[in-house]
A = this chain, B = another copy of it.
């Protein structure tokens, strides 16, 4: 079925072909066009998405009506709104395709069942969670210790190819600055 995901799982746990197939039987492949929403504001999030190609963004719309991007997801990343998913509360975050994107959808209703049938999958999700959390902590550190100019420099250096894929106003939103100020910073550099 999907090789990316099988590779991904084998990186973290010992698992048989049969178990991988069983896990994959719970997943549904879906394709979203640019600007289509996988999760809408106000809706309770009921799935996790493994991105096989394309790019998603997780964002909300602030009081002034501007998008604030929390983060992006690209190939071989799991993306969801964990707060809404696990606490079963309506999401104020939106998940949207930045470009045409293919995902494997895992419905949350199956997850406990999967954990009991294939305990290694619970281990995989524990590790995914650990890594996701570490990324989030690093982001908080950057937000504190770097100026916008330094954050931009850092982000472009770390993600040179990705920067090409997204419009500049999305990069500005991710960095927490206005597109106008981003434009000014680029001119400066």
Q: Which residues of A contact B (CB under 8 A)?
A: 60, 62-63, 68, 70, 82-83, 86-87, 115, 119, 122-123, 125-126, 129-130, 132-134, 136-141, 143-145, 176
Q: In this complex, what residue of B is CB-closest to A173?
A: B144
Contact (Cβ within 8 A) A82 B141: no
| Complex copy number for this chain | 2
A7 CB to nearest B CB, Å: 21
Contact (Cβ within 8 A) B133 A129: yes
Interface contacts beyond A82-B137, A122-B123, A129-B133: sample of 18 additional A-B pairs, CB < 8 Å, sorted by A: A60-B141, A62-B144, A62-B145, A63-B145, A68-B141, A70-B137, A82-B130, A83-B134, A86-B130, A86-B134, A119-B119, A122-B122, A122-B126, A132-B133, A133-B133, A136-B137, A140-B140, A140-B143
Cα A137 to Cα B84 with chains together (Å): 12
**A126-B129, A130-B129 in contact; A143/B143 too (CB < 8 A)?**
yes
A47 CB to nearest B CB, Å: 16
A157 CB to nearest B CB, Å: 18
**A122-B122, A126-B122, A129-B126 in contact; A83/B137 too (CB < 8 A)?**
yes
Contact (Cβ within 8 A) A138 B83: yes
Show 20 residue pairs from A and B whose CB-CB distance is below 8 angstroms, ordered by the A residue.
Answer: A60-B145, A62-B144, A63-B145, A68-B144, A68-B145, A70-B137, A82-B137, A83-B137, A86-B134, A119-B119, A122-B122, A122-B123, A126-B126, A126-B129, A129-B129, A129-B130, A129-B133, A139-B140, A140-B143, A143-B176
Cα A140 to Cα B60 with chains together (Å): 12
Residues on B with beta carbons closer than 8 Å to the beta carbon of A145: 60, 62-63, 68
Cα A62 to Cα B150 with chains together (Å): 14
Residues on B with beta carbons closer than 8 Å to the beta carbon of A141: 60, 68, 70
